Amino acid sequence: MSQSNTFTLDGKTIPYSEGQTIIQAAMAAGEYIPHLCFNPEFKPHGSCKLCTVKANGRQTASCTQHPAPDMVVESDTKEINDERRTLLQMLFVEGNHFCPSCEKSGNCQLQATAYQLNMMSPHFDQFFPDRPLDASHPDYLLDFNRCILCSLCVRASRDVDGKNVFALSGRGIKSHLIVNAKSGRLADTNFSGDDKAAHVCPVGVILKKRVGFAIPIGSRSFDEQPISATPHPQGACPVGPRSNAATLPPHPTVKDA
């Protein structure tokens, strides 16, 4: 019974099964709805709001909204894409995102989604928050400047790794990522490069050390094809073929960088 259920996404008929949300059904049918905090491997969260669609005329996050039979879902419209672009601009000005010097450039879902939606400028005044780096861990670097608070690392560490290395603290515009250590430093947690949490960041916060720019800018995931044509975004794929971190052999561990 549940298999026969369908809804329409921008006029196309999309089948869905019981329990699927709109974006899950759309992705299964090969349709792209922009998203950042959603990752098919994790329970939907619904915070970035990039995946907002109009379902039967009412705007809602497609990652948490379940479809109903014959629901009319609009996604790729000027109105919704304009709003998504503004949400992206908000994320860009809220943190410190300098794509040209960022190691994640070309593999970054925020950047790729901005290209996808033709974001030409950040539009709003930059907030320029003061967010120190954490380079304490021998193998990984945390650059909080790029955090978009999607909480994928929080969910991965808690639900997959069973470690709770990451958490969100603060409130409102002061919300920020913290790590599970009295010192506040990643080196003092039980974080490991083998953790799922090490590989889910859609932007450039959690970076492996000593492999920077191993694949030149221009030859990276989203340089080759837009995010809408990339079935498994780089961030969702721990050591996938396009992950630049995976192309080099593991580097011997060195003490505190």
Partner 1 sequence: MLNQADTHAGYLDPILIRHRHNANDLLQILIAAQDHYGYIHSDAIDHLSGQLGLPRSKIEGVSGFYSFLHLQASGEYRVLFSDNITDRMLGNMDLMQSLCSQLWVEPGKVSEDGLLSINTTSCTGLCDQGPALLVNNIAINRLTQERVNAIGELIRERLPVSAWPAMFFAIEDNIRRRDVLLGSHPKPGSALAALLQQGAAETLQQIKISKLRGRGGAGFSTGSKWELCRDAPGEQHYVVCNADEGEPGTFKDRVLLNSYADRVFEGMTLCARIIGATRGFLYLRGEYRYLLEHLQAVLQHRRQQNLLGDAILGQADFNFDIEIHLGAGAYICGEESALIESLEGKRGTPRNRPPFPVTHGYLNQPTVVNNVETFAATCLICLQGGAWYAGIGTETSSGTKILSVSGDCERPGLYEYPFGVTVSQVLSDCGAKDTQAVQISGPSGVCIAPDEFNRRIAFEDLPTAGAFMVFDRSRDMFEVARNFVHFFKHESCGFCTPCRVGTSLLSNMMDKLSHGHGSPYDFAEIEKLNVLLQSTSHCGLGHSACNPVLDTIARFRPAYDKRLAHKEFVPAFDLDRALSQARQMTGRDDTGAHLERSHE
Closest CB to partner 1 among 48 and 119?
48
Closest C-alpha among 62, 27, 58 to residue 46: 62
Shortest CB 225 distance to partner 1, Å: 26
Q: What angle do CA 254, 216, 40 make, to 5 degrees?
A: 80
- Smallest separation, CB 86 to partner 1 (Å): 5
- Beta carbons of 149 and 175 less than 8 angstroms apart: yes
Q: What residues make contact with partner 1 under the rule CB under 8 A?
A: 46-50, 52, 59, 61, 64, 83, 86-87, 90-91, 93-94, 124-125, 127, 148-149, 164-175, 178-182
CB of 49 to partner 1, least distance (A): 5
Q: With respect to partner 1, which residue has the nearer C-beta, 189 or 221? A: 189
109/244 with CB nearer partner 1: 109
Please tell me whether residue 53 adopts helix, strand or coil conformation. strand
What's the half-sphere exposure (Cβ side, CA atoms, 13 Å) at 250?
Answer: 10
Residue 116 carries which side chain, given as an amino acid letter? Q
**Which pair of tokens denotes residue 25?**
């059904």
In angstroms, what is the minimal distance from the CB of 94 to partner 1? 5
* Minimum distance from residue 175 beta carbon to partner 1 (Å): 4
Query: For partner 1, which is the closer residue by CB, 158 or 232?
Result: 158
Q: Shortest Cβ distance from residue 162 to partner 1 (Å)?
A: 10
Answer for the pair 151, 202: CB distance below 8 angstroms, yes or no: no
Give the sign of the dihedral formed by CA 157, CA 106, CA 130, CA 175: negative
Q: 94 or 139: whose CB is closer to partner 1? A: 94
What is the smallest separation between the CB atom of 148 and partner 1, expressed in angstroms?
A: 8
Q: Which is nearer to partner 1, 182 or 255 (CB)?
A: 182
- Decide whether 129 or 240 has the Cβ nearer to partner 1: 129
DSSP labels, 98-115: -GGG-TTTTT-HHHHHHH
How many residues make up the chain in this entry? 257
Q: What is the token pair recorded at 233?
A: 């975004």
Q: How far apart are CA 6 and CA 9, in angstroms?
A: 10
- Angle at 234 (CA atoms; ends 204, 110), nearest 5 degrees: 50
